[in-house]
């Protein structure tokens, strides 16, 4: 072998070994950096663009990035501390779930009214429980929807069932105190409300329910369910007139119900219109897109209604006796 050939071979070996050493050093540096991070930051989860995710996740074509797809359930839980386009949806209702569960303890052990009987505490706690279910199911849906289409449908069923539970719980509590002194009417309306809202509980068991094509019909059903939930109040007004309502200057009951209805209606409008991302696709992928705003309206409505229920309770319990039966 000539000296030139030997020199060339030596150079190639040195270059090759140098590359191997560099790769090892890079691995060491990378591993050191990873060990220096918190466990949830190691090996960041991959996010995808709209066109790269499965079709069942392509619900809103104005949200262009930040998608999770084909995650394991463990990766879904780890994604709680990552930032993606479902983070706002998960945490808005996750925080509300924690708050409502805490309020259930207040319902039973707190000072909700000096004259509150155990039955009053149960009525208020049942409303809070319905809200807790709603927020828990919603959180689980938005956390795990990216696992698979099967998971999307299964958790979607829970999500929509939770919505019906909250509508029923909200209307039932107001109906209980509206007809507090008329058990016959109270029983009739409570049974009817439960029956009507069963449509929203069992409807999600059908696969078509969770599809994007059914979006407007879902919204329509829940709006109609909300309208029907106001029927007991309309009945009460027809029988007694507005003078028999809790005075707005003393109790937050009627102002609270009006505010709750306003929050829900505004949220539905934003949800269906897909505002504001419709105006600037891709700009609201992570923060303040329509679904997050809808969640905020739902939380505001639920908390407002909790105050309204306490006001209805105070209105009834502040009276020594029930007025004459209609």
Give the domain extent around 301: 50-317
The answer as to whether 323 is a domain residue is no
The answer as to whether 296 is a domain residue is yes
The answer as to whether 322 is a domain residue is no
Tell me what pLDDT residue 213 has.
Answer: 76
CA 185/CA 153 separation, integer angstroms: 38
On whether both 32 and 65 belong to a single domain, the answer is: no
Tell me what pLDDT residue 267 has.
Answer: 95
On whether both 142 and 167 belong to a single domain, the answer is: yes
The token pair at 216 is 């407007």
Q: Is 305 annotated as a binding residue?
A: no
CB 186 within 8 A of CB 175: yes
**Number of neighbouring beta carbons within 10 Å of residue 149:** 14
Q: Write down the mean pLDDT value for the chain.
A: 85
CA 161/CA 267 separation, integer angstroms: 18
Tell me what pLDDT residue 202 has.
Answer: 75
On whether both 233 and 261 belong to a single domain, the answer is: yes
The pLDDT of 79-108, averaged and rounded, is 96
Q: Which of 43 and 187 is assigned the larger pLDDT?
A: 187
Residue 25 pLDDT greater than 80, yes or no:
no
On whether both 77 and 178 belong to a single domain, the answer is: yes
DSSP character at residue 45: P
Tell me what pLDDT residue 206 has.
Answer: 73
Single out the residue of 293, 64, 54 nearest to residue 151, CA to CA.
Answer: 54
Single out the residue of 272, 92, 81, 261 nearest to residue 170, CA to CA.
Answer: 261
The answer as to whether 41 is a domain residue is no
Q: Is 147 annotated as a binding residue?
A: no
CA 33/CA 199 separation, integer angstroms: 53
Number of structural domains, the chain?
Answer: 2
**Contact residues for 72 (Cβ-Cβ < 8 A; gap 6+):** 147
Whether pTM > 0.85 for this model: the answer is no
Q: What tens digit of pLDDT does each residue of 145-201 get?
A: 999 999 998 898 888 888 888 988 999 999 999 999 888 899 999 888 888 787 777
CA 136/CA 98 separation, integer angstroms: 9
On whether both 83 and 7 belong to a single domain, the answer is: no
Report the range of poorest mean pLDDT among 11-15, 58-62, 305-309, 317-321: 11-15
Report the range of poorest mean pLDDT among 33-37, 197-201, 210-214, 244-248: 33-37
pLDDT above 90: percentage of residues in the chain = 61
Query: CA gyration radius for the chain?
Result: 28
Residue 36 pLDDT greater than 50, yes or no:
no
CATH of the domain at 305: 1.20.1070
DSSP character at residue 58: -
Q: Is 84 annotated as a binding residue?
A: no
On whether both 173 and 299 belong to a single domain, the answer is: yes
On whether both 137 and 27 belong to a single domain, the answer is: no
On whether both 58 and 194 belong to a single domain, the answer is: yes
On whether both 160 and 90 belong to a single domain, the answer is: yes
On whether both 144 and 180 belong to a single domain, the answer is: yes
């Amino acid at each position: 072998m000539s000296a030139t050939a030997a020199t060339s071979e030596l150079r190639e070996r040195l270059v090759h070994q140098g590359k191997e050493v560099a790769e090892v050093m890079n691995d060491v540096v990378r591993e050191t950096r990873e060990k220096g991070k918190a466990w949830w930051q190691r090996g960041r989860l991959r996010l995808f663009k709209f066109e790269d995710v499965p079709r069942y996740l392509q619900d809103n074509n104005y949200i262009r990035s930040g998608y999770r797809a084909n995650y394991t359930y463990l990766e879904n839980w780890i994604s709680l501390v990552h930032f993606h386009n479902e983070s706002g949806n998960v945490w808005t209702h996750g925080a509300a779930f924690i708050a409502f569960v805490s309020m259930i303890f207040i319902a039973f052990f707190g000072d909700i009214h000096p004259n509150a009987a155990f039955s009053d505490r149960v009525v208020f706690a049942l409303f809070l429980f319905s809200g807790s279910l709603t927020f828990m199911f919603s959180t689980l849906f938005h956390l795990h929807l990216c696992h698979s289409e099967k998971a999307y449908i299964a958790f979607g069923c829970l999500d929509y069932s939770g919505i019906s539970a909250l509508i029923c719980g909200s209307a039932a509590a107001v109906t209980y105190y509206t007809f507090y002194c008329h058990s016959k009417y109270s029983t009739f309306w409570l049974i009817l409300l439960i029956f009507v809202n069963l449509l929203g509980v069992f409807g999600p068991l059908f696969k078509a329910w969770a599809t994007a094509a059914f979006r407007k019909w879902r919204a329509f059903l829940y709006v109609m369910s909300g309208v029907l939930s106001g029927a007991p109040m309309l009945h009460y007004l027809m029988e007694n007139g507005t003078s028999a309502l809790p005075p707005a200057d003393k109790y937050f009951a009627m102002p609270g119900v009006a505010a709750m209805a306003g929050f829900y209606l505004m949220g539905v409008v934003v949800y269906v219109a897909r505002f504001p991302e419709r105006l600037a696709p891709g700009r609201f992928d992570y923060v303040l897109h329509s679904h997050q705003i809808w969640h905020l309206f739902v939380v505001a409505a639920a908390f407002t209604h909790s105050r309204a229920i306490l006001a209805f309770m105070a209105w009834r319990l502040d009276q020594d006796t029930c007025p004459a039966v209609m």
